[in-house]
Amino acid sequence: MLLVSLVFAVPLLRAAEHVIVTGGPALREWENLRVKPDQHDRWWGNFVRASTLRMVEIRKSYGQDAHLVWMVFKPGYVTRGREDDKPYVQWLTKLARERNATLIWFDSSSGFIRALNARPRGAILTFDFFGHSNKYCFMFDYGNDIMAASTAWFHERDIPRVKSSVFDRNAHCKSWGCHTGESMSAVWKRHFGIPLEGARGPTSYVMVGRGEMPSVSGSWVR
C-alpha cells in the first residue's frame, strides 16, 4: 500500500506550478506629460524586479526545484524597449532561463486566459500578479498605448472564463497591484473558492530595486 501511495504521489508533486504574471510598464513619452505625483514607471523594471524577488521567495519556501511559470505581457516590453533603445524582451528571456522558469509571453486578455486554462488540472499552487490594476481588473497595459489608460486587461467579469480546475484547492493567490482587494478579490473567491489576497488602497514598487517586495498604503485583505 505504501508503494502504491508513493507512485501516485510523485506525479502530483511534479504537477505543482507557481504562476507569476507580469504586466507591462508605461511609456515615459506619456508619463512625462503628467504631474509628477501621478507619474508611473520611471524605471522600466518595477514589475520584473518584483517578479524575480517573488521567485526567490518561492524557491526558499517550496524548494529549488519548484516549477516557476512566468507569464509576461510582451507588447509593453517591446514598446518600452523601443523607447529606451534597450532589448528588454531578450533580457527577460535570459532572466527566465537563468532562473529555470518557464516563460510564456501573451499579448492580450484572451491570450492570458488561454495560457492560464492550459495549465494542468490542479497544478497552480501559487499565483502572483505584478502590474497596474484597479479594484475591478488587472491592467496588463497602462499608459503604454494611450496616456493614463489601459487597452489590455483581465476584468473581474472575465474570471468565469478561467477554469477553476487549474488551481490546487489550497492555492495561495495574491495581486500586488493597487486596489484589488476592494472588489476583484471577492469575485475571485466566489468563482474559484479560494482567496485572492489584494490591496485595499494603492501599492508602491518604490523599494523593489532595493530588494523589498511591493508595499500597500492601506491593508492586504483576502
Q: Strand 137-139 to strand 153-155: parallel, antiparallel, or no bridges (unpaired)? A: antiparallel
Kindly report, residue by residue over 146-171, the tens digit of the pLDDT.
Answer: 888 899 999 999 999 999 999 999 99
64 pLDDT above the threshold of 80: yes
Kindly report, residue by residue over 100-120, the tens digit of the pLDDT.
Answer: 999 999 999 999 999 999 999
Angle at 101 between CA 26 and CA 192, to 5 degrees: 75
Listed range (5-19, 62-76, 203-217) with the worst mean pLDDT: 5-19
Kindly report, residue by residue over 177-203, the tens digit of the pLDDT.
Answer: 999 999 999 999 999 999 999 999 999
23 pLDDT above the threshold of 70: yes
Distance (Å, whole) CA 125 – CA 17: 6
**Stated pTM of the model:** 0.92
pLDDT of residue 145: 84
Could you tell me the residue ranges of all domains in the chain? 15-171+184-221
CB-based contacts of 147: which residues, under 8 Å, 6+ apart? 30, 31, 33, 34
Average pLDDT, the chain: 93
205 pLDDT above the threshold of 50: yes
Nearest alpha carbon to residue 29 among 18, 40, 14: 40
Cross-sheet strand order for the sheet of 17-22: 101-106, 67-73, 17-22, 124-130, 167-175, 196-200, 219-221
Distance (Å, whole) CA 221 – CA 218: 10
38 pLDDT above the threshold of 90: no
